[in-house]
Structure 1
Amino acid sequence: MIDYIKESFVELKANVTWTSWSEGQRLMVVVAVFSILFSLVIWGIDSVFGELIKLYFGVIS
């Protein structure tokens, strides 16, 4: 297990290409904006379906 952890750290240092700090920040902003927009779309769809369900069951009652 200890050898596995040591090899993992060697792999991270030697073979992984890390983005620059500015590129990482830019990508973080892109992910944050996309997440906010996606959550707003899901909230909107949920609200519309909620209202449709209320109308449907209001008509039936």
Structure 2
Amino acid sequence: MAGFINYIQESYNELKNHVTWTPLAEAQRLMVVVAVFSIIFSLAIWGVDSVFSNVIKLYFENVVGA
């Protein structure tokens, strides 16, 4: 148990004193960039999926159904 407590103390010390944290303003800016990219990427995937879905529907209605 003492080893676990020592691990927690050393981890806390490492995070508090030896890690360089990104400034809040930069972290917020990067979060906005990631959110915008995610939205654009999801819309692109939705668009491609819609096109493929319609193509497959037309194929089955016109070629296979004939």
Q: Give the TM bin, normalised by the shorter chain.
A: 0.7 to 0.9
Q: Which runs of 5+ in 2 are unaligned?
A: none
Cα RMSD of the aligned pairs, angstroms, is 1.2
- Equivalent residue of 2:38, what SS? helix
Instruction: Give the TM-score, by structure 2 length.
Output: 0.80
Percentage of pairs with the same residue: 66
Hey, what does 2:29 align to over in structure 1?
26
Structure index of larger Rg: 2
Q: Aligned residues, how many?
A: 61
User: What's the offset of the Cα at 1:6?
Assistant: 2.6
**1:2-21 to 2 correspondences below 5 Å:** 2-21=5-24
2:54 aligned with 1:39: no
**1:39-58 to 2 correspondences below 5 Å:** 39-58=42-61
Q: Which runs of 5+ in 1 are unaligned?
A: none
